[in-house]
Amino acid sequence: MTSAGLNSAETGGSLVSPPLWLLAELTYRCPLQCPYCSNPLQIADLKDELSKDDWLSVLRQARELGAAQLGFSGGEPLVRGDLEELVVEARGLGYYSNLITSGVGLSEKRVAALRDAGLDHIQVSFQSSDSEVNELLSGSRKAFEQKLRMAEAVKAHGYPMVLNFVLHRHNIDQVEEILQLSERLKADYVELANVQYHGWALENREALIPSREQLERAEVVTNAYRQRHPEGMTLYFVVPDYYEERPKPCMNGWGNMFLTIAPDGAALPCHSARDLPMNFPNVREHSLKDIWYESEPFNVFRGDDWMKEPCRSCPEKDKDHGGCRCQAYLLTGDARNADPVCTLSPDRGLIDDALATANHHARQPVPMLFRNMANSDQLIASG
């Protein structure tokens, strides 16, 4: 292990901190087809996955740079048969490893094997507490029953049960039922995370944004639960940033602590960064150290020299770093602009228009584009 001094590099006069969190997106393959998936639309073009040895090398290099938290995600990480071996290596290296799964492809036996391999934590994502909406949204009938069984198996093997529910217009009115279901399963942590509009979710935005009333009701229900059960499950409620006045401090700053490695080996400062028109370095060609400290894409939005007005002279710029670069690019066409969620942004109207449309449509069905390879192929073909 190197000392702290050796792990910091001078870039543009400011000290770059080491990556502390590594997100290993093992594959874009997934048995589900969630229309709010944050994976890129061009998944069908990105099928050349890193080998096990590539991943072992990524784990070692990132740990040496300082990463301590590790997430295995995807796609569905359980699709990779070598997951257990990667977990063994991660444990040996001293990572705290988290598996983020839909639960499909998990079996009681696999939970036990992952536990033996040294996995620290499993998070199971649900689309809703109600199996009908759940199946509608995941495009799978059997998925829901399977998830319930796997959530129970996770707990039975001594893991804390962390349930993640992605909220949107079609299930946000069910927060009460979601919490009841979570209690029945004896969950320890429940994340009620509203969709963030990247990747497939942006494509389906009009069908997914909840109305303001829906959002307010869901928050009331969540807070009431917290008050009734001060010692109960820990609830996290993530508001969709469209309804906020300030953007989220995306990734705690670009290239500041988060490092994502995509299934094909692209290194990204954020799992959504593929939305940006940039050439991201690949771990097949460069060391992680060079990627993190030297590469152009990781340095371009570090610090605040890149900012335009109103961020550049804004007293709040250290709080939110101007928000999400991907959202700025996708909605305004320039990644250096303020995140349009910010009410100080001249482009805030784009968000308000989307909200107005969504609030207007809230009671009508809007068709959704399901996340799968066939739809991805079509999107790629149509440019």
Partner 1 sequence: MPEMNAVPALRAHYRLQWEPAQDCHVLLYPEGMIKLNGSAGEIMSCVDGERSVEQIISALQTRFPDAPGVAEDTLEFFTVAHDKRWLEFG
**Footprint of partner 1 (CB under 8 A):** 1-4, 7, 18, 20-21, 65-66, 68-69, 71, 94, 96, 98, 120-121, 123, 159-160, 162, 189
Alpha-carbon radius of gyration of the chain = 21
Q: Which of 239, 314, 366, 369 binds ligand SF4 (CB under 6 A)?
A: 314
Q: How far is the CB of 272 from ligand SF4 (least distance, A)?
A: 13
**C-alpha span between 56 and 49 (Å, rounded):** 13
CA distances from 118 to 17, 60, 70, 326 (A): 28, 16, 13, 35
What does the DSSP assignment read for 180-198?
HHHHHTT-SEEEEEE---S
Give the torsion sign (CA, 294, 296, 301, 303). positive
- Residue 75 interacting entry, from ligand SF4, partner 1, none, C-beta within 5 to 8 Å by type: ligand SF4
Give the residue with the Cβ less far from ligand SF4, 100 or 291.
Answer: 100
Number of residues that bind ligand SF4 (CB under 6 A): 25
In this structure, what token pair is assigned to residue 186? Answer: 């004896």
Give the H or E element holding residue 276: none
Q: How far is the CB of 311 from ligand SF4 (least distance, A)?
A: 3
In this structure, what token pair is assigned to residue 39? Answer: 């994976």
**C-alpha span between 337 and 310 (Å, rounded):** 8
Give the residue with the Cβ less far from partner 1, 4 or 15.
Answer: 4
Give the residue with the Cβ less far from partner 1, 163 or 181.
Answer: 163
Q: Does 317 bind ligand SF4 (CB under 6 A)?
A: yes
Give the residue with the Cβ less far from ligand SF4, 222 or 375.
Answer: 375
- Residue 33 interacting entry, from partner 1, ligand SF4, none, C-beta within 5 to 8 Å by type: ligand SF4
Q: How far is the CB of 320 from partner 1 (least distance, A)?
A: 21
**C-alpha span between 246 and 120 (Å, rounded):** 34
Give the H or E element holding residue 26: strand 21-27
The residue ranges that bind ligand SF4 (CB under 6 A) are: 30, 32-34, 37, 39, 74-76, 102, 246-247, 310-311, 314, 316-317, 320, 322-323, 338-339, 342, 344, 371
